[in-house]
Amino acid sequence: MLAGMGAYFMFSVMVLFAKLLSTRHSVIEIAFYRNLIGTLPFLFFIFALGRRDVLVLRSRPATVAVRAAIGSVSLVVTFAAYSLMPLADTTALLFTSSLFIPILAVIVLKESVGPYRWSAVAIGFAGVIIMARPTGDIYVWGVTVALCAALLHAILQIILRYLGRYESPETISFYFFAIGTVLTALALPFVAVTPTIAEIPLLLGVGLSGAAAQWLLSIAYRNAPAAVVTVFNYTSIVWATLFGWMIWNEWPLPAVIVGAAVVIASNGLIVWRESRGRNSRQD
């Protein structure tokens, strides 16, 4: 329980640092530092502690590489979304990733999804419409980027469901960081800005908080059912609201609060049906 709460707190800290840095730095550059610093603990784990088994890809190297590439794009798009909108608004919209998963599960994994989960998906997207404020007060580009990030998160979850049958979480995470570092480094000659002394702690913070979040999340999933861990994701809206208020004097509008509540409720229904589905594969 504590590991799950800590993981989503650290994810919130990571995007806080990324948003602060985005005023001067490209989101691609920020993603590079996040991946680079996140790789270092794995290198220590592999070479200093002798865990070279982490490097071994058992049977799906191409899928691991694709997952890492999509993960790199997802990270950049996520940071872009946070740079365009308030923290709480973006966090609420990213909750919609759980709504895309049943759709992708039907298309990609050929899973059976029943009326309860389809109803939850429909309710959740109604919450998105509420948050998007169709009256005209809307961050069109920001909402679009955030929903793209949510879709990419869902795609990653589907790939992880598949890879989890063949590869260890440590192996998948290491190659995600390592390949992500290389891919984002390719753009550095075009986007990099020399960081100031004051920005160095923020760059370190992006990488260390991201690595800590991944580590805590792996502990959480190892010691608790996935449905329980997923619930703690919703604590990130509390941290996002708090950070936004403390640093930027931002407070989510009523439409965002209502829409986020609808999305969270629909996610709760999906999690409930997913947990029941493990015992009975029919909805």
Query: Considering only CA atoms, which of 37, 53, 14, 17 is closest in space to residue 170?
Result: 53
Residues 102, 65, 111: CA angle, nearest 5 degrees:
20
Average pLDDT over residues 155-180: 84
- CA dist., res. 137 & res. 143, Å (int): 12
Question: Does the pLDDT at position 134 exceed 60?
Answer: no
Banded pLDDT at 194 (limits 50, 70, 90): very high
Q: What percent of the chain stands above pLDDT 90?
A: 33
Return the pLDDT at 188. Answer: 95
Q: Is residue 12 exposed (0-12), middle (13-18) or buried (19+ Cβ within 10 Å)?
A: buried
Task: Provide the CB-side half-sphere exposure for 283 (13 A, CA).
Answer: 18
- CA dist., res. 156 & res. 170, Å (int): 16
- CA dist., res. 256 & res. 251, Å (int): 10
pLDDT tens across 68-127, in order? 999 999 999 999 999 998 898 888 889 888 778 777 777 776 666 667 667 777 777 787
Q: What percent of the chain stands above pLDDT 70?
A: 85
Return the pLDDT at 216. Answer: 83
Question: Does the pLDDT at position 279 exceed 60?
Answer: no
Average pLDDT over residues 63-70: 91
- CA dist., res. 86 & res. 105, Å (int): 31
Query: Tokens standing for 185?
Result: 């480094």
Buried b (16+ CB within 10 A) or exposed e, 179-218: bbbebbeeeeeeeeeebeeebeebbebbbbbbbbbbbbbe
Question: What angle do helix axes 140-163 and 87-94 make, rounded to 10 degrees?
Answer: 40
* Helix, strand and coil percent figures for the chain, each rounded to 5: 80, 0, 20
The structural domains of the chain, with segments of one domain joined by +, span 2-277
pLDDT tens across 223-269, in order? 766 556 666 777 888 888 889 889 998 887 777 788 778 877 876 77
Residue 185 Cα to chain centre, angstroms: 21
